[in-house]
Each structure stands twice: as C-alpha cells, then as structure tokens.
Structure 1
Amino acid sequence: MIDAIAFKYRTGTPWMDLPERFGSWKGVHNRLRNWAADGTWEKVLAALLAQADAHGDLDWVLAVDSTIVRAHQHAAGARQKGPRPASRTTMGSDAPAAG
C-alpha cells in the first residue's frame, strides 16, 4: 500500500493509471485518504523521526527565507487614482493621409 502511494506521488501519474501490481487504485486512494483523516501519517512520521533521532541519524537543519517580492501596483493591474484617461479617438477614413 505504501509502495503504491509512493509510486503515485513520485511519478505524478493519475490515480486511475496506477499499475495493476498495486491492486485497485480506488482502494489505494481510499486508504490514503483515511490514513490522512485519522492521523496515521502523523503517527508514522513521529515514529520514524523518533527512531532516527535515537540512532543519531537525524540532523536538524532549518532554513528560513524572509524575502518578500512585490510587484509595482501598475504591474499588477491596479487602477490608478483619479479618472481614467479618455480613450484616443481614431481618425475616420476621410481624414488626410499622413505623409
């Protein structure tokens, strides 16, 4: 079951394209949803972390990026203050040609 779930997320395939060797894709999907809802994944992660920490295999590295990137208000399509400029009128076909 865990191999089927790992395969799905590793390859990015749709659930319905899960290979038959894993069994029914509906069964795998339902099991994943149930385990997520009842907290099974959190318990598995906690147990794996505790085991790795007890063996000294756990090395905590924390990286925090506080960069904020903002677009200028005009780049984001925000309306400018004040009235909108009138649209440019086009010349009719009887206007003299530029030249």
Structure 2
Amino acid sequence: MAVTRRFDLTDEQWPVLEPLLPEPSRRGRPSLWSKRQSIDEIRWRVHTGAP
C-alpha cells in the first residue's frame, strides 16, 4: 500500500493528466523518479512556496 500525501494526485486524476505529458526524448540512464512523482513534487513546491 502506497503512502499518499495531501498534495499527491489521486488515482482518478493521474490517467487524465498522464497523456498530456511529453514522452522522454533522450536516451541513456532512466530518471530516478517517475513522471507522477515529479508532478507531485512540483505541486507540493507550488502549494507550500518551498524554494
């Protein structure tokens, strides 16, 4: 069971947003974080005003 935070996208919101994100265009090592984790972090920073 995954731990969700208050600002994370719900399972119902994610399928709506995912097709709008661009596909990775570079080769090489994969990202350390999933697209969903990146979006959740961006939303948290915008909401809290963290630098």
The TM-score normalised by the length of structure 1 is 0.23
Q: Which has the higher helix share?
A: 1
Q: Which has the higher contact order (CA 8 A, sep 6+)?
A: 2
Report the TM-score when normalising by structure 2.
0.40
Q: Which has the larger radius of gyration?
A: 1
